[in-house]
């Protein structure tokens, strides 16, 4: 199984093919995925690259972290594991429940 890397601060103009090529220069890339806005399709400026092995991943971090892509300095690091998402409206935090707030009494 490959090693997943986070790639941040990408120019919004970078394509998945360009991202893939950037990392192919360092080692074997299994996949490259840009994260895009679901409504507009516009890049959010970050993505994930899966390298074939640990050695390639570490080499990519060393060589590409802090390098230039377009007019931006990119960030490359190990991706954190995906956190389980809670369905919206589910318990815990946020939002205000029923019945209006305080306000002044009429009497």
More confident residue, 4 or 107: 4
Report the C-alpha gap between 68 and 40 in whole angstroms.
26
pLDDT band at 107 (very low <50, low <70, confident <90, very high): low
3-state secondary structure the chain: CCEEEEEECCCCCCCHHHHHHHHHCCCCEEEEEEEECCCCCCEEEEEEEEECCHHHHHHHHHHHCCCEECCEECEEEECCCCCCCCCCCCCCCCCCCCCCCCCCCCC
65-95: per-residue pLDDT in tens? 999 999 999 999 999 987 876 666 555 555 5
The fold adopted by the segment(s) 3-78 is Alpha-Beta Plaits (3.30.70)
Taking the model in full, what pTM does it have? 0.77
Tell me the per-residue pLDDT of 9-48, one tens digit each, with 9 for 90 and over: 999 999 999 999 999 999 999 999 999 999 999 999 999 9
**pLDDT at 6 > cutoff 90:** yes
Q: Where are the domains of the chain?
A: 3-78
Q: Which two tokens stand for residue 93?
A: 């935090």
């Amino acid at each position: 199984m490959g090693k997943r890397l986070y790639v941040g601060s990408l120019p919004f103009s970078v394509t998945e093919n360009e991202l893939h090529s950037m990392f192919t220069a360092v080692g074997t890339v299994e996949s490259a995925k840009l994260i895009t806005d679901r409504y507009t399709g516009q890049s959010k400026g970050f993505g994930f690259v899966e390298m074939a092995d640990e050695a390639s991943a570490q080499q990519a971090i060393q060589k590409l972290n802090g390098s230039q892509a377009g007019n931006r300095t990119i960030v490359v690091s190990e991706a954190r594991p995906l956190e389980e998402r809670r369905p919206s409206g589910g318990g815990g935090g946020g939002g205000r429940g029923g019945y209006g707030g305080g306000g002044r009494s009429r009497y």
